[in-house]
Chains A and B, each alone.
Chain A
Amino acid sequence: MNTPVVSMDVRHVGGGVAVVDITGDVTATCEQPLMAAYEEASTGGTNRLVLNFTGLEYMNSTGIGMLVTLLVRANRQKQQLSAYGLTEHYRQIFELTRLDEAISIFDDESSALGHAGAS
């Protein structure tokens, strides 16, 4: 099994909002770290999850698939999912795969948190 080249750090920023800082490669190897980060982010009555992609370096189609799985889990828990920090390239991928219709995308953290009602 390949070692994940990704790190996922969770910040609880108050108001039921958690930010997951994703740094590195989002591929098949990051399934466990992503789901562990989701579990950690979901503690304490979190109802809004914000994914920070500022440190995203590489993503393949399996990575996009994992985001769908994450989205389904969040929807099941009635949690809202949003994202920020996507470069133009990754924003285009979100549009192409139509993930942007299910995950709200923002330019930066303050906009994302503002939308999430935590700022």
Chain B
Amino acid sequence: MTIDPEQAIPLEQIELSVHEAASPAEPGKARDAAFWAPNVTRLTVDADRAAAGFNVAGKRVTGPQQGFGRLWQRTYTVKLGSSVSPQQLITEWKDHFGDFWPKGNRFHGLLITPGEVAPIAVNTGAGMKLSTGVLVLYADDESFTFMTPQGHMFAGWITFSGFADGAGTTAQIQVLIRPNDPIYELGWFVMRRMEDRFWKATMVNVAAHVGVPNAVVEEHTNLVDKHRIWRNAGNVWHNAAIRSVLHLLSAPIRRIRRGRAH
């Protein structure tokens, strides 16, 4: 969805929500305890989002060391000046997260709170939607982080943050990822361009929303580890692209089964 800069929310209408950071930690609890997702072995998807989450339910999350391909750190930044504080930026980003995505992609998340599992549908550009999802691993008032499940294109996490420097507020997206399996690794250079288009468009929309039209997004890529982790080549079993195609092809069978059940 592209957001009209004319519809940008005036700053005075952006209210700071109550964040956990503003509250003192409970005695005996770590200061960051409220920001982290509870530990889970396998992901579960709410019943009302189960249809969208068929590639997520029952999967494990995958950190960078559970992926297959080379490890990349990619950073996208956009300068927002004094139009918004980091906290206001993150509040707006959380509240409208999926609205900032380019047209044709869908984020099925609700509140972006730690532990939430959000199915996503990514437009591959080949007339097919790739169904996967994310776990909200961490969320505070200046950043939030998603972790990917088995089958996702990438193993790792992606952090959305806002920080202040001498020039005002900067919005940042930083990914630390390995392609999850050998097929995704083969397609890295195509996926890399897709990622660029996707996140740059997202950041332009975020910037427009907080009153900065025609923002310029900078991108920096760092190869952290050139080695592939061959013991994880079997991740291809969970490949969400393949499973999305199979799911699409088997739709008529599911319809027949549902008809017989009724």
Within the complex, the shortest CB–CB distance from A62 to chain B, in Å, comes to 6
With known contacts A65-B176, A87-B30, A96–B64 Cβ distance under 8 A:
no
Residues of B contacting A76 with CB < 8 Å?
Answer: 225, 227
Binds B, one of A38-46, A97-105, A110-118: A97-105
Residue of B nearest to A102 (CB): B65
Query: A67-104 toward B: CB 8 Å interface, digit per residue (1/0)?
Result: 01101100110000000000101101101111101100
Residue of B nearest to A87 (CB): B30
Which residues of chain B from 220 to 255 have any CB-CB distance to chain A below 8 Å in the complex? 224-225, 227
Please determine whether A93 and B64 come into contact, CB atoms closer than 8 angstroms: no
Interface of A is mostly: helix
Residues of A contacting B66 with CB < 8 Å?
Answer: 98, 101
Q: Please, how many angstroms separate the alpha-carbon atoms of A76 and B227 in the complex?
A: 9
**A9 at the B interface (CB under 8 A):** no
Among A59, A60, A61, A96, chain B packs the most CB atoms within 10 A around the CB of A61
Interface residues on B, range: 35 or more
With known contacts A76-B225, A99-B63, A101-B65, A60–B176 Cβ distance under 8 A:
no
A-B contact list, 11 entries, CB within 8 Å: A58-B32, A62-B159, A62-B161, A68-B176, A76-B225, A89-B36, A93-B39, A96-B36, A96-B39, A96-B137, A98-B65
**Which residues of A pack against B, CB within 8 Å?**
1, 57-62, 64-65, 68-69, 71-72, 75-76, 87, 89-90, 92-93, 95-99, 101-102
**Which residues of B pack against A, CB within 8 Å?**
29-33, 35-40, 60-66, 71, 73, 137-138, 140, 143, 145, 147, 157, 159, 161, 165, 174, 176, 224-225, 227
